[in-house]
Chains A and B, each alone.
Chain A
Amino acid sequence: MARIIVITSGKGGVGKTTCTANIGMALAKRRRKVAVIDADFGLRNLDLLLGLENRVVYTAVEVLSGQCRLEQALVKDKRFNNLVLLPAAQNRTKDAVTPDQMRQLVNALARVYEYILIDCPAGIEMGFQNAIAAAKEALIVTTPEIAAVRDADRVIGLLEANNVKRIHLIVNRLKPAMVAANDMMSVEDVQEILAVPLIGVVPDDERVIVSTNKGEPLVLSETPSMAGTAFDNIIRRLEGEKVPFQALSVPDDNFFSRLRKMLSKKVI
């Protein structure tokens, strides 16, 4: 049985596509047969994060209109040939496909691939309905910010209403130093509020931007990174392994912040 997982968040810009690219790549590294679907018609980006933008010939729209076979539209990854991307059309809108058509595509892929990852667009309109139509599981991406958590909550409600019962939470872009200073919600805070099980915590890491610049997901990097390790841990948990959550240490502070901390504790 293929696992059909939608990666969604409600709010835009919290890291859905980055998570999809890294989780897909990390699974491929483990020799799993993976298909990633860009469901963001009109604003596709997954091809860029995977570094496959030059290989896109056909998209899901051409497959559905019969202009090409599904096989032809799938872009094979240059590093792992067990990873394929089904690109979204860039010159169409979200109404270019229907939930039924999406189900058809996903079910066809599910016969061959072990993991189908669907990169959901932001919002809760047609694009979202398409993306979740065929999903059996969901990964909710949120950052520890008020707007992102609120939107995540809304999306969780909609997923439950659409019978997607297996829902896990990824807290992205956590800044441990800000949490320690009581200026950012902790992972526990977010989890307590959303009340869905946690599957990963990805610390804020500048190397994510460097990796997107190059079109090489962080999990491929030779030098280990905090965020890359976090994604590796997520797929191990997806596969049922018990992996303890990384202790996210606060970067060593300088003389002034230590003095400030000391003052705020000792004075008065």
Chain B
Amino acid sequence: MLIELLERLFPRGSDNSRQDVKRRLKLVLAHDRADLPPSVIEAMRKEILEVVSRYVELDDEATEISLENNQRATALIANLQIKRVRPRDETVVDPINAPDLTLTEPVTADSLSNDK
């Protein structure tokens, strides 16, 4: 009660506006410096997740992909939480490089004569 009253009388102010501004600046500068439009970053994020998901099951909630800066050099930081590793046979087959196993019916002498 007393503490509440005192706090109202002497507001402490937000102790972290300095931390806020640093956090916001770092994020915006990482993007400015990389000069990548958000659409490109989003496309990159999707593709990275797609590739990784072929091998392991990811926790969608816990994935985080961001750009970070250190001494004027930009880095792409991907933090992907793995739920479980997919067993060998469950690995999603890449549609482009999947072996083509379709066959055509072999032509026999029988069917030729029937056509007549």
Residue ranges of A at the interface with B (Cβ–Cβ < 8 Å): 145-146, 149-150, 153-154, 156-157, 179, 181-186, 189, 193, 195, 256, 259-260, 263-264, 267-268
In chain B between 5 and 52, which residues have their CB closer than 8 angstroms to a CB of chain A?
Answer: 6-7, 10, 12-19, 21-22, 24-26, 28-29, 32-33
Interface centre among A146, A154, A184 (most CB of B within 10 A): A146
Report chain B residues within 8 Å CB of A189.
18, 22
- Establish whether residues B6 and A263, one from each chain, have CB atoms under 8 Å apart when the complex forms: yes
Q: A182-B17, A184-B18 are in contact. Are A260 and B10 (CB under 8 A)?
A: yes
Say if the beta carbon of B71 comes within 8 Å of chain A: yes
User: Could you tell me if B24 and A195 are in contact, using CB atoms closer than 8 angstroms?
Assistant: no
User: Could you tell me if A263 and B10 are in contact, using CB atoms closer than 8 angstroms?
Assistant: yes
In the complex, which residues 40-77 of chain B have their Cβ closer than 8 Å to any Cβ of chain A? 71-72
Q: Which residues of B contact A (CB under 8 A)?
A: 3, 6-7, 10, 12-19, 21-22, 24-26, 28-29, 32-33, 71-72
Are B18's CB and A146's CB within 8 A? no
Q: Is the CB of B13 within 8 A of A183?
A: yes
| A181 contacts across to B, CB distance below 8 A | 13
- A263-B6, A267-B3 given; A185·B33 CB < 8 A: no
Contact B18 A193 (CB under 8 A): no
B36: min CB distance to chain A, Å: 14
**Closest chain A residue, CB of each to CB of B15:** A182
Determine whether the beta carbon of A150 is less than 8 Å from that of B3. no
Instruction: Tell whether A268 pairs with B3 under 8 Å between CB atoms, given A181-B13, A182-B16.
Output: yes
B35's nearest neighbour on chain A, judged by CB, is A157
Closest residue on chain B to residue A256 by CB atoms: B10
Residues on B with C-beta less than 8 A from A156 are: 72
Query: Could you tell me if B10 and A259 are in contact, using CB atoms closer than 8 angstroms?
Result: yes
* 8 cross-chain pairs, A with B, having the tightest CB-CB distances, nearest first: A260-B10, A182-B18, A264-B12, A195-B72, A195-B71, A183-B17, A146-B21, A153-B29
Known: A182-B18, A267-B7. 15 other contacts (CB 8 A): A146-B25, A150-B25, A150-B28, A153-B32, A156-B72, A179-B18, A181-B13, A185-B18, A185-B21, A186-B18, A193-B22, A263-B6, A263-B7, A263-B12, A267-B3
* Shortest beta-carbon distance from B30 to chain A in Å: 10
Chain B residue with Cβ nearest A260: B10
Pair B18/A153 contact, Cβ less than 8 Å? no
Contacts of A150 in B (CB 8 A): 25, 28-29, 32
Q: How far is the CA of A183 from the CA of B22 in the complex (A)?
A: 11
Set of chain B residues within 8 Å of A183, measured between Cβ atoms: 13-14, 17-18
